Structure 1
Amino acid sequence: MIFAHRGAAGTHPENTMVAFIEAANVGADGIELDVQLTKDGEVVVIHDETVDRTTDGSGWVKDMTYRELRALNAAATWRGRYGHCPIPHLEEVLAWLAPTPLAVNIELKNSLIAYEKLEQKTIALVRRYGLEKRTILSSFNHNSMRLCRELAPDMETALLSIDPLHDPWTYVRVMKADGLHPHYRTVTAKWAAEARQRGVAVRPFTVNKRNAMKTMFSYGVDAIFTDYPQQAKQWKEETP
């Protein structure tokens, strides 16, 4: 599968509705997005813990209300190409996604800030739209993923990692996770094959270069995350 990382983030403002819509238009199998909580407890879609890099504002997401965040332009760095793109609420994305065939990977951004009830609120929204079977919950915060497993045993969970994990198969079993989302540079053919044998889904991130993408496809990984879903689809079709 091809998951559009933060939407079609290579060609559109990341984690915005225009990026998600573009991902659907070019034939991605799913979208990936990041969630955090506002000061007033709303689940919003944004990657960084601050708004400085991706918007025309400044400050921490946790210190701003939903209304304050919505006033910011998440396409500010694109020099007017996409006009004003507000930071989406997770519900807005899921309501749009529900009638499509897309899967969604929701990454909980709670490693730096322990957002209280982020897991519960995210799961509740997924259930509201009946997307339990099309949703993967992931995080670098593996304690959070264990909590999600307890709260929603019917939803898939995956553990994100930058560095190779020691004895990943035992770890996945102990954490009761369904998949691993490793940095693509840590994935080998042998490792991917062993994951398949053990029934562990492997979805490397963030794969943007042609050779790396073709290598991942040749390894038979379950999915990749890419900023360029249209290009990825073309390269996938070229791979024997």
Structure 2
Amino acid sequence: MTLILAHRGYSAEYPENTMLAFREAAKAGADGLELDVQMTKDGELVVIHDEKVDRTTDGTGFVKDYQLKDLLKLDARFKFASLPNREPIPLLKEVLEWLAGTDLICNIELKNTLFMYEGMEEKVIEMVREFRLTDRIIISSFNHYSIVKSYMLAPEIEIAPLLSDGLYMPWIYAQSIRAKGFHPHWRAAQDEIVISSLDSGVEVRPYTVNKDNELERFFRVNCSAVITDDPVNARLIREKTKQA
């Protein structure tokens, strides 16, 4: 069965990368989560997509220039301002502690292409091990050097390169860096790529799949997983495709 991973949580209806979005994704029946990790000035791992806080919070500036105590004062509701309670940027530790009480899988994307956060891989791995989540975590990044480093540090934790463009025989590349799967942009995941990868024993989890016809396509070819903003809609499409 094709798994449904909620992109930054249930981000179609709730503020992305917040505990609210993650909890609502679980309630909505998602099989797992996708989230993003940056690092504060004082070396704390926090869950936010952009290097800057401007788009998703009421603050300004780079995450790397904030002390954690100041970052936690920001409100991450952004376009969901009508919500009754402020939503802080979560710590990765907070998310993993909650995740440990669920059966969800989780794709942690290391956001270290613009800034090479020193020690990020070690800190993420230590935390994943602390909460005994090694068999439910996938570490991904556009920085493939970083995920190879992660594999060398912790071969028991799955890695997956993110691919924004098409790559010739991506399953061969994935195998060459000891990745059990890869995460392509949905446009770079044509049916033949998905099928050939799966036939080679390599998982394919395209992002960010929100169009009904694309969801249907991936469900029909039994893609490993889809990463989507709307897990509720994806579940409906998956059920409909199963019955077709």
- TM-score range (shorter-chain normalised) is over 0.9
User: How do 1:1-240 residues align onto structure 2 when only pairs under 5 Å count?
Assistant: 1-240=3-242
Q: Distance in 1 between matches of 2:84 and 2:233?
A: 21
1:30-88 residue CA offsets vs partner (Å, 9 max, x unmatched): 01100011000000000000000000000000000111110000003212325200000
- Runs of 4 or more consecutive aligned structure 1 residues displaced over 3 Å after TM superposition: none
1:199 positional shift = 0.8
Q: Distance in 1 between matches of 2:16 and 2:83?
A: 13
1:93-136 residue CA offsets vs partner (Å, 9 max, x unmatched): 01111011111110000011100010000011110100000000
Paired residues of 2:170 and 2:197 also in contact (CA < 8 A): no
Q: Distance in 1 between matches of 2:101 and 2:229?
A: 23
Q: Distance in 1 between matches of 2:139 and 2:108?
A: 5
State the number of aligned residues.
240
SS of residue paired to 2:135: helix
TM-score by length of 2: 0.96
Q: Distance in 2 between matches of 1:163 and 1:39?
A: 32
Paired residues of 1:182 and 1:202 also in contact (CA < 8 A): yes
Paired residues of 1:76 and 1:84 also in contact (CA < 8 A): no
Paired residues of 2:171 and 2:181 also in contact (CA < 8 A): no
Percent same amino acid at aligned positions? Answer: 50
Unpaired stretches in structure 2, ≥5 consecutive residues: none
Bigger mean CA offset, 1-10 vs 77-86: 77-86
Q: CA RMSD in A?
A: 0.9
Residue type of the partner of 1:63?
D
1:190 positional shift = 1.4
Q: Distance in 2 between matches of 1:82 and 1:158?
A: 37
1:167 positional shift = 3.4
Flag the 1:82–1:107 CA change in 2: closer, same or farther, 3 A: farther
Q: Distance in 2 between matches of 1:191 and 1:76?
A: 37
Q: Distance in 1 between matches of 2:191 and 2:84?
A: 40
